[in-house]
Amino acid sequence: MNILWKIAWRNLREHKTKTLIIGILVALGVSLVVIGNSVLESVTRGMEASYVENFTGDLIVRNTSDEDVAFIGAFGAAPDAVEGYSAVTNYLDGQETVQDYTPLLTGMASVNQNNETLSFAFLWGIQPSTYFEMFPDKFLVTQGERLTDGETGIMLSQGVVDDVLSEHGLELEVGQTINLFAQNDTTGTKIREVEIVGIGYYENAAGLLDRISLVDANTLRSLSGLTAVKVDTRSRSEAADTSDSALFGGGNDELFSDSLFSDAETSEATAELDFDNILGDTSIRDEFLALDNNAWHFLLLDTKGNTAGLTSELESLEGSSLVIENWRWGAGFIADLAYNIRNILNIIIGVIAIVAVIIIMNTLVISVTERMGEIGTIRAMGGQKNFVRGMITVEVLTITLLFGLVGIAAGSLTIGALNLLGLPASNLFLQVLFGGSTLKPILSISSLFLSIIAVTIIGVLASLYPTSVALGVSPVQAMQRK
Amino acid sequence: MAIAQLKDVKKVYPLGKTEVHALKGVSFEIEKGDFVSIAGPSGSGKSTILNLLGCIDTASSGQVVINGIETSSLNDKQITNLRHEVLGFIFQSFNLIPVLSVFENVEFPLLLGNNPMSKRETKEWVDYLIDAVGLADWSTHKPNELSGGQRQRVAIARALATKPSIVMADEPTANLDSVTSGAIIDLMKRMNRELETTFIFSTHDQDIVDIADHVIRLQDGLIIKDYKTNGHVSVEPQVAKVGA
């Protein structure tokens, strides 16, 4: 084996130009793999850490749904409330892998004041005590106070406040009230007046994440139509029928009968209508339109250790129909974007690898052709085909691994420099991707291994055809070398 | 005992739509320890015979027997082993590995197969061969730092490295001046005597032919003379067999 490496190494030194052409190509490709994957891994790692620590926790428990539901505001359909919420929390309380959990509601509303639409906000309805225990100091309060359990109010995001100031010249402050307008399928348009109890922001919340405001749960339940009716969809239709009857009397025919309107139109004496009598007893309606205090869209879990068992048990919990998601689902299209960019990068790397294989292969074929006499001599002297195969393979692996290491070194140095200097996010797209204004990429160890594996595969693939050419060299060609 | 034998060997090369009959039915025997010259003009079939004896080409028909082994029945691996263990080669253009030093070139054939010698024995043997061909001071030099004669000396040492029974030399002096040619043939002859290795070389140089103790003369793919200089070995003229 020693002689193979010796011949390979000396041949590479002997043919410097050829070696450099192949080497530069390999080194460039490898450094691209290292830099690209390190940057994108830093992006996804940063994104994961940011989401897990600030927004999603380790796991998100939600109800199953046929639709793509939203974790943040309007990026999907409104989720159903978690079925059997109490049973789920009882289960979670007994799990060692669950360190902490907090329920969450999601929604979106326009922010109005004095009949003027000022902005819009993504709303998260929280249970303040558990939320701030699980995410302490993540929502940095710049004015006012945090919400407390049972308090009605909103912790408005700094992004909304800044938007209102720049667009309308209005400075929203703690203590003021704003109106939140939202629509839902159950109760239609809802308006709720809330007091601004605090103003703050999530650190590293780029893009639209800076519009997340925290609101008391009942305000968002009301805006979202999370009533008792909404919670139990099976009983809703039955209840709705009863409610309609109670509300509107005997039915549509009776409600819209001629007698009702003709009387109203024709008789002054009937001007004073007995609404209580017409509407009947509204207690059932009130009961069904009452907010369900157990209605939560999500449960965010802070876990430790292996959660595979927890996940499968939660998903098969009796009386519930749950899906367990992670931060990536919570991040939605932003995470998909990062992963898609990574996939695109890998496709580009794949194309470069194919080009590299072709170039290396062609160069090697020329090299083999030039050395047919030498190969023929080796075969004539008793060198088996395996020796020739080894000679070519070792030569290719030497050049690819050697320059692969050069590429790894160059890529690592570049990542080191970028880490020191910081990669600025010059536009909103990059801010969303980086999760902030700068990215300090960290060298991806997996990309180093990936690069070494990639160059080895490139080397082996590139050597296949030249090797077959070399193996076809007859010892007679040694004799024909004059 | 014959160490190499050709029995009615024919070799036909396809050339486009026609065929070239390089050998038209050749038979001869070579005894162990012979210093054999295969002589004849260009195109007479000298190189073809060397290729067949060297097991680097196969006959179109007939038998090639080396060391008692009929070579046509061997597969590529077996025939490569046979070349490694029984045969040594000296080429007209020396065919040294350019990136290896003199020592490494001579040692190289030993690394191509099972080498029964220890590392120390190998070094001593290679040093002995290099010394024997007069290149002890050039051991660490690369081939491109040597003259043509020196390169052919390296090639001779390399051909002897595996202690082969037979050394094939295809016009070993063709690229050398007359003085160097004489020196190379003398060296081969000395090695032939000292190591009792059979040397078979092709040449069209009459001066060199005369040094051999067994001469096989070819013309147009047929043997016209097969004789030993210490006693003429006559063969039937084979011209009559053309086309047989």
Contact yes or no for B91 and A377 at CB 8 A: yes
> In this structure, is residue B16 part of a structural domain?
no
Contact yes or no for B108 and A3 at CB 8 A: yes
Predicted confidence (pLDDT) at residue A458 exceeds the cutoff of 50: yes
> In this structure, is residue B5 part of a structural domain?
no
pLDDT tens, position by position, A133-149: 999 988 999 999 999 99
Beta-strand runs (E) in A8-134: 59-63, 98-113, 116-126
Kindly calculate the radius of gyration of chain A based on its CA atoms and give it in whole angstroms: 34
pLDDT band at A255 (very low <50, low <70, confident <90, very high): very low
Q: What is the nearest CA distance from B83 to chain A, expressed in angstroms?
A: 5
In chain B, the number of structural domains is: 1
| pTM of this structure | 0.67
Which residue in chain B is spatially nearest to A474 when comparing CA positions? B56
- Interchain CB contact of B93 with A (< 8 Å): yes
Contact yes or no for A479 and B113 at CB 8 A: no
pLDDT tens, position by position, B165-204: 999 998 888 877 878 788 888 888 888 888 889 999 998 8
Chain B contact probe: residue of A479, A480, A481, A482 with most B CBs at under 10 A: A479
Contact yes or no for A382 and B92 at CB 8 A: no
* The residue to which tokens 């290099």 are assigned: B130
Residue B238 has a pLDDT of 46
| Token pair of A123 as six digits | 């709303």
* Polymer length of chain B: 244
Residue A288 has a pLDDT of 62
Find the CATH number of the domain harbouring B185. Answer: 3.40.50.300
> In this structure, is residue B81 part of a structural domain?
yes
Nearest to A382 among B57, B81, B91 (CB): B81
Nearest to A382 among B93, B99, B112 (CB): B112
Residue A262 has a pLDDT of 41
Predicted confidence (pLDDT) at residue B123 exceeds the cutoff of 90: yes
- Interchain CB contact of A104 with B (< 8 Å): no
Predicted confidence (pLDDT) at residue A203 exceeds the cutoff of 90: no
Contact present, A419 and A442 (Cβ < 8 Å): yes
Average pLDDT over residues A27-55: 85
Predicted confidence (pLDDT) at residue A279 exceeds the cutoff of 90: no
Contact yes or no for B56 and A7 at CB 8 A: no
- Interchain CB contact of A357 with B (< 8 Å): no
Concatenating the DSSP letter of every residue in A288-309 gives: HHSB-TT--SEEEEEE-S--HH
Structural domain for B227, as ranges = 32-56+73-234
CB atoms under 10 Å from CB of B89, counted, come to 26
Predicted confidence (pLDDT) at residue A396 exceeds the cutoff of 80: yes
Contact yes or no for A382 and B100 at CB 8 A: no
> In this structure, is residue B64 part of a structural domain?
no
Contact yes or no for A387 and B112 at CB 8 A: yes
Average pLDDT over residues B15-31: 91
Contact present, A380 and B71 (Cβ < 8 Å): no
> In this structure, is residue B14 part of a structural domain?
no
- Interchain CB contact of A332 with B (< 8 Å): no
> In this structure, is residue B146 part of a structural domain?
yes
Nearest to A476 among B56, B111, B162 (CB): B56
Nearest to B95 among A14, A373, A387 (CB): A373
What would the 3-class secondary structure string for A330-387 be? Answer: HHCHHHHHHHHHHHHHHHHHHHHHHHHHHHHHHHHHHHHHHCHHHHHHHHHCCCCHHH
Report the range out of A315-319, A395-399, B61-65 with the highest average pLDDT.
B61-65
- Interchain CB contact of A373 with B (< 8 Å): yes
Contact yes or no for A380 and B57 at CB 8 A: no
Question: Can you tell me whether residue B146 is helix, strand or coil?
Answer: coil
Contact present, A40 and A345 (Cβ < 8 Å): yes
ipTM above 0.90, yes or no: no
Residue B208 has a pLDDT of 79
Residues of chain B positioned with their CB less than 8 A from the CB of A374: 95, 97-98
Contact yes or no for B112 and A378 at CB 8 A: yes
Lowest mean pLDDT among A203-207, B56-60, B231-235: B231-235
- Interchain CB contact of A14 with B (< 8 Å): yes
* The residue to which tokens 């080397």 are assigned: A459
Predicted confidence (pLDDT) at residue B240 exceeds the cutoff of 60: no
Contact present, B64 and B52 (Cβ < 8 Å): yes
> In this structure, is residue B163 part of a structural domain?
yes
Contact yes or no for A14 and B99 at CB 8 A: yes
Which residue in chain B is spatially nearest to A3 when comparing CA positions? B111
- Interchain CB contact of B122 with A (< 8 Å): no
> In this structure, is residue B10 part of a structural domain?
no
Residues of chain A positioned with their CB less than 8 A from the CB of B77: 384-385
Residue A281 has a pLDDT of 64
- Quick one: how far is CA A471 from the chain centroid? 52
